[in-house]
Amino acid sequence: MKHIILLLFVAVIAFSSCETIEDNSTVIQAQVDSVFFKSLDAVGSETVGQGIQLQGITDNQVLTLRLNDRMEGEYLLSQNSENFATFENGNGVVYSTTFGGDGSVTITSLEASGYVTGNFDFYAVAPGLDTIYVSKGLFYRVPYGISTNPDTPNAGTFNAQVDGAPFSPISVGAVDSGNSLLISGATSVSTIIIRVPIAVEVGNYTLPQAGFQASYAVGATTQDATAGNISIITHNTTAKTISGSFSFVTEGNTITEGQFNVSYN
């Protein structure tokens, strides 16, 4: 009996630890139905007007929160609201509050240096398929590129052409997720994310292949590369700097002349 009680105690502690931020690092996390979701990368961007978009990204899932303002307080999510949340699972199925879901997002902190913190809960619908319930959601110090502090740096430089038009991000991120490097650039309406293995060496890598990924997101819609190339020009694992180039196509867009030169943490 003592062994059973001890095992139950350990299980409770393990589950509880999933609901906290362990190292005060940028993250978006939540309970999606009965499965714990924790982003490998979390990116934010300003949207048209005074809005903000936050995305938590794993190897094959994307959780998106989009709000029509950037002020501390509660934002209601519903079918007819400008505020919405979506979740794209590993099979590419997109659940959205705009399809008849409901919920709320609360911004608890907006830092002058351009970071946002808060929490969320919602349920979202994939029409004709299923409904998911997202609970105990939180986002912690997600950069959204609207810094009032001129000394707050981006991770480096990032640019590309999207369908022949310049892609010039206001927010550049680079994160060591443990297994991968996640390099991102975000404008007010769209985001490009490049993923490579943490120990990637100088060379050319075709897409798609294991460990390498590129995606382009506009609003709540994310499309992965169906073909393309990532070239690593330099990678200093001691200084944690990496530079390279990329080009790829998705189902609806062509990204060319991509370049990045960033420091990661």
pLDDT category, 30, cuts 50, 70, 90? Answer: very high
Average pLDDT, rounded, for the chain: 83
Q: What one-character-per-residue DSSP string does 45-85 give?
A: EE-STT-EEEEEE-SS-EEEEEES--SSEEEEEETT-S-EE
Kindly report, residue by residue over 54-71, the tens digit of the pLDDT: 888 887 788 999 998 889
Model pLDDT, residue 206: 96
How does 55-79 read in b/e, with b if 16+ C-beta sit within 10 Å? bbbbeebbbbbbbeebeeeebebbe
pLDDT score recorded for residue 7 = 39
Instruction: Collect all residues with Cβ–Cβ distance below 8 Å to 11 and sequence separation of at least 6.
Output: none
Q: Give the integer Cα–Cα distance in Å for 186 and 62.
A: 15
Q: Express as a percent the part of the chain with pLDDT over 70.
A: 85
6: pLDDT strictly greater than 50: no
Helix (H, G, I), strand (E, B) or coil at 9: helix
Does position 9 have pLDDT exceeding 70, yes or no? Answer: no
Res 219: pLDDT: 67
